[in-house]
Amino acid sequence: MSLKRHYYLIVGLLAVPAALLYTWILRSGPEPLPAGAQLVPALTAAAVTPREGVLQARVELPPEREAAWEEALLVLGPALFPPGPEPVVKKTENGCLFHDPSGGMELALALTAQGGRARLLAQATLRDVDQLPKLERHWQQVFSSYGLEAQYAALLAGTLPGRAAYNEIEALLGNIFQSLDVRQTWQTTDGLLVSWAGHSPRIKSFVRDVRGEPVNVQAAARYHPLDNRTHIYLGSPLIYRDY
């Protein structure tokens, strides 16, 4: 076989896996990211004044280490803060409450028991919503160093001045969902409340609704007469608090 034929044979053999890899990338798309990395750009691109960001982590604790975790919270709490001044700690009935001296972040750690298993709930409230993606990545590293896996939920809250008309809210939520590539959207309207939910392939985790469909993005808008503002909430996989 001539050198030229060898060359074309090698090129042909290399081209097949390269083409298959390219096709797989096109079909699979980018790997889904944690929720915070997706929600923050979606909200900041909208005409919403951000108020706070919330990150939650639910962790099932190994049985052999349950008793030790009450004291371990005093070590875990500061580790969950980004680098900076030592946070101030206060013990609560079922855990600890931490806050940094600058007031930029508050962290609540609580131990609960369900079905005979101990669970840890960590909830951080951030004044600067742009810090949410960094904090989410930091928490993943911290919990991994403890040999723990956490289920995460993220929430962003913001406001619009006055009472937004329904078509304004519809356009706003529509733009947010479009930027997140949300599919299978369902909507509910109840008086002053408008709520949308659906599934985004750009976010890793999800829950299933009553129909068995995957859901990992929920947005809601509610007008509050007391401050004459329309409050906007964006959560993943759902909004886990009253609004």
- 147-202: pLDDT as tens digits: 888 999 999 999 999 999 999 999 999 999 999 999 868 888 887 899 999 999 98
What is the domain range of residue 123? 35-236
Measure CA of the first residue to CA of the last residue in the chain; give whole Å. 75
Q: Is the residue at 41 inside a domain?
A: yes
Domains in the chain, number: 1
Q: Is the residue at 243 inside a domain?
A: no
Residue 67, pLDDT score:
61
- 236 burial (CB, 10 Å; 0-12 / 13-18 / 19+) is buried
- 168 burial (CB, 10 Å; 0-12 / 13-18 / 19+) is middle
Q: Is the residue at 18 inside a domain?
A: no
Q: Is the residue at 99 inside a domain?
A: yes
* Alpha carbon distance 148, 120 (integer Å): 11
Q: Is the residue at 242 inside a domain?
A: no
Phi, psi of 202 (to 5 degrees): -90, -5
Strands (E), 74-192: 88-92, 95-99, 105-114, 117-126, 150-161, 183-190
Residue 64, pLDDT score:
62
Look at strands 217-224 and 229-236 and give their pairing. antiparallel
Q: Is the residue at 7 inside a domain?
A: no
Q: Is the residue at 28 inside a domain?
A: no
> Tokens for 196?
């949308």
Q: Is the residue at 12 inside a domain?
A: no
Residue 154, pLDDT score:
94
Residue 11, pLDDT score:
33
Low-confidence ranges of the chain (pLDDT < 50): 1-31
Residue 72, pLDDT score:
86
